Structure 1
Amino acid sequence: MENKNRLVVYDCDIGTDDAWGLAMMLRAEGVVLPGGRSSKVVAITTVQGNTDVDNGTLNALRVLHTLDRRDVPVFKGCADSIVPRTWSYTSKFHGQDGFNDVGGYPEVNEEQELQKEHAVNAMYRLACGNPGQVDFLLCGPLTNFANCINLYGRSFLDKIGGVYIMGGNIFGKGNVSKSAEFNFLMDPEAAHTTLERLTRPALILPWEPCIDGELGVTLDWRLNVLGDVDHPFVELLTRAERSMLVPRGFVNWISCDSLLTAIYLFPDAMIADQRDYYATVELSGVHTRGQMVLDHLRGRKVDAIHGKASNVRVVRRLKGEHFRTIIGWTGFLPSADIAPLCV
């Protein structure tokens, strides 16, 4: 019987969306989740992505300070992709430091508060010490996770629980290049290694369902209703997102990593449609490097060309009606009640 007391490694490249997802995971501790499950974050692991790994690590510690959760261990991970990039990511959607450089952050002491163990080794140790019980929420490039696979192979893969990935795309719609989603493009080899080596299907939330559905959260509501909550975490994220999103003319608020976390915690309330596929990642295409490629010919069970069984469960459509309640509850909005979603 599956152990319903789940331990979570939250792997992230902390910009604002990862921060919301992390806050949601920590808020869920002590809550009896659907199916009688419980969850506990046993590690935050950081990786290059939205910002460099040094800033991302500082941001993880800053978030923990705002939430008064300095008990949660943070492990710094990989600073570079598996294969060095020949191009430079210059748009810096989250600014240089991941929080759009707004400043006014809580003071952290990295020397005292950061764990000395590397994130990759921590992943392996936690999986081996709790076989089948540790779930991995992978919210950034998959560099840490893939390096753990490369270092430890089946002795790691046979001991992990579930794997949940925000990344990739269904229909080749890109958000950095014309054909690739950010997390996969920032380390295509890591994404390819992860999908090819997993021994059980991962759940993937791709880019398109995050932007193509109606999730019920306008930027106005996020900044001026949820943003009015008097809490250090909400205050920091509201300053960062106001400076980042208002000048760009956003109307709706999109937070992909918090959507993945909501799926993990409340799957029935969040997932409208999912399907099994065999998936891989394009590594050589001139225009399509980093694109997730699904076998649409056979769809559900076996890859038509290679005869490979499905290795992912792809979320194709989300239910939008509950997400505003979940994110409101994450941000301590008094009127947000998740009790009906936990039945």
Structure 2
Amino acid sequence: MENKKRLVIYDCDIGTDDAWGLAMMLRAEELALPGGRSIKVVAITTVQGNTDVDNGTLNALRILHTLDRRDVPVFRGCADPIVPRSWAYTNLFHGHDGLNDLGDYPEVSVEQELQPEHAVNAMYRLASQHPGQVDFLLCGPLTNFANCINLYGQAFLDKIGGVYIMGGNIFGKGNVTKSAEFNFMMDPEAAHIALERLSCPALILPWEPCIDGEFGITLDWRLNVLGSVDHPFVKLLTRVERSMLEPRGFQKWVSCDSLLTAAYLFPEAMIADQREYYATVELTGAHTRGQMVLDHLRGRKVDAIHGKKNNVRVVRRLNGEPFRTIIAWTGFLNEADIAQLCI
């Protein structure tokens, strides 16, 4: 029987979307979730991605300060992808430091607050201490998770709970190259390893349902309604997102990692359509490296490659209305009625 108390490792490359997801996860510790579940965040692990791993680690500690949750352990993870990149990512959507280089952040002490254990080892240790109970929310490149698989193999895989990934794509729509999503493209080998080695289907929220979905959240509502909340977390994120999104002319507000977190916490309310596939990642294509490739011939008698067992549950469409309630509650907006989603 599934243990209703779920322990969560939140693996991230904090930027703002990871920060919203982390705040949502930590706030959810106080809830009785649908199905009688409850959750506890037992580790935040950091990885290269939106920024380098050192800045991402600092940002994780900064976010915990704004939420007054310095009790949550943070573990620094991998600084580089499994195969060194032959190209430089220069878009820097989140700035050099992941928070758009604004400064005036909460003061943190890495020496006193960061756990000495490497993130990869912490993943294995926690899964071993609580077999079947630890769920992994992977909101950045999959470098830490894949390296844990490479180091510990089946001894790790046999002990994990659920795996939830924000990354990849359904229709080949890219956001860092023309055909690859950012998290997968920042470490394609890690994504390939994770998908190939998982024995139970991971839930994947790809890029397209996030960017093409209709969630009814305008940037104006985010910055001027939710952004009016007098809370250190909201004030910091509003300052960062105002500087990052307004100059680029954004009209809608989308936060992919918090969409994955909401789908994990409230799957019945959030997930409108999902389907199982066998998925892999293109590693050698001249135009398609990093693209997630789905076997659309599933269920037919085809060759050995296409006939592999389904390894992912792909979210194809999300519900928008509950997400606005969830993100309002995450941001401490008084009018948000989260209780209606916990029934």
TM-score norm. by structure 1 comes to 0.99
For the structure 1 residues 333 and 93, does the alpha-carbon distance in structure 2 shift closer, same or farther, using more than 3 Å as the test? same
Is residue 156 of structure 2 the alignment partner of residue 156 of structure 1?
A: yes
Deviation at 1:179, TM superposition (A): 0.3
Aligned mates of 1:150, 1:320 — CA distance in 2: 37
Structure 2: tracts of 5 or more residues without a match = none
8 A contact 1:44–1:75 mirrored in 2 = yes
For the structure 1 residues 239 and 304, does the alpha-carbon distance in structure 2 shift closer, same or farther, using more than 3 Å as the test? farther
Deviation at 1:301, TM superposition (A): 8.3
8 A contact 1:278–1:302 mirrored in 2 = no
For the structure 1 residues 224 and 333, does the alpha-carbon distance in structure 2 shift closer, same or farther, using more than 3 Å as the test? same
Opposite residue 149 of structure 1, the aligned amino acid is I
Aligned mates of 1:275, 1:321 — CA distance in 2: 21
Deviation at 1:327, TM superposition (A): 0.3
**Aligned partner of residue 29 in structure 1, secondary structure:** helix
Aligned to 1:196: 196
Q: Spell out, residue by residue over 1:265-284, the C-alpha distance to the aligned partner (whole angstroms, 9 max, x if none).
A: 00011000000000000000
Opposite residue 294 of structure 1, the aligned amino acid is L
Aligned mates of 2:340, 2:238 — CA distance in 1: 27
8 A contact 1:120–1:145 mirrored in 2 = yes
Opposite residue 296 of structure 2, the aligned amino acid is H
Opposite residue 196 of structure 1, the aligned amino acid is E
Aligned to 2:52: 52
Q: Spell out, residue by residue over 1:119-160, the C-alpha distance to the aligned partner (whole angstroms, 9 max, x if none).
A: 000000000000000000000000000000000000000000
For the structure 1 residues 224 and 161, does the alpha-carbon distance in structure 2 shift closer, same or farther, using more than 3 Å as the test? same
Opposite residue 10 of structure 2, the aligned amino acid is Y
Aligned mates of 1:305, 1:180 — CA distance in 2: 25
Is residue 208 of structure 2 the alignment partner of residue 208 of structure 1?
A: yes
Aligned to 2:63: 63
Aligned mates of 2:83, 2:256 — CA distance in 1: 25
Aligned mates of 1:78, 1:301 — CA distance in 2: 39
What count of residue pairs does the alignment treat as equivalent?
A: 342
Aligned to 1:337: 337
Aligned mates of 2:302, 2:230 — CA distance in 1: 51
8 A contact 1:303–1:310 mirrored in 2 = no
Aligned to 1:77: 77
Aligned to 1:124: 124
Is residue 19 of structure 2 the alignment partner of residue 32 of structure 1?
A: no
Aligned mates of 1:65, 1:57 — CA distance in 2: 13
**Aligned partner of residue 204 in structure 1, secondary structure:** strand
Aligned mates of 1:304, 1:221 — CA distance in 2: 51
TM-score norm. by structure 2 comes to 0.99
Aligned mates of 1:205, 1:22 — CA distance in 2: 16
**Residues 6-17 of structure 1: pairs in structure 2 closer than 5 A:** 6-17=6-17
Aligned mates of 2:137, 2:302 — CA distance in 1: 26
Aligned to 2:252: 252
Opposite residue 245 of structure 1, the aligned amino acid is L
Structure 1: tracts of 5 or more residues without a match = none
Aligned mates of 1:66, 1:85 — CA distance in 2: 34
Aligned mates of 2:285, 2:238 — CA distance in 1: 39
Opposite residue 43 of structure 1, the aligned amino acid is A
Aligned to 2:43: 43
Deviation at 1:305, TM superposition (A): 5.0
Identity of aligned pairs, percent? 82
Aligned to 1:93: 93
**Aligned partner of residue 254 in structure 1, secondary structure:** coil
Aligned to 2:238: 238
Aligned to 1:286: 286
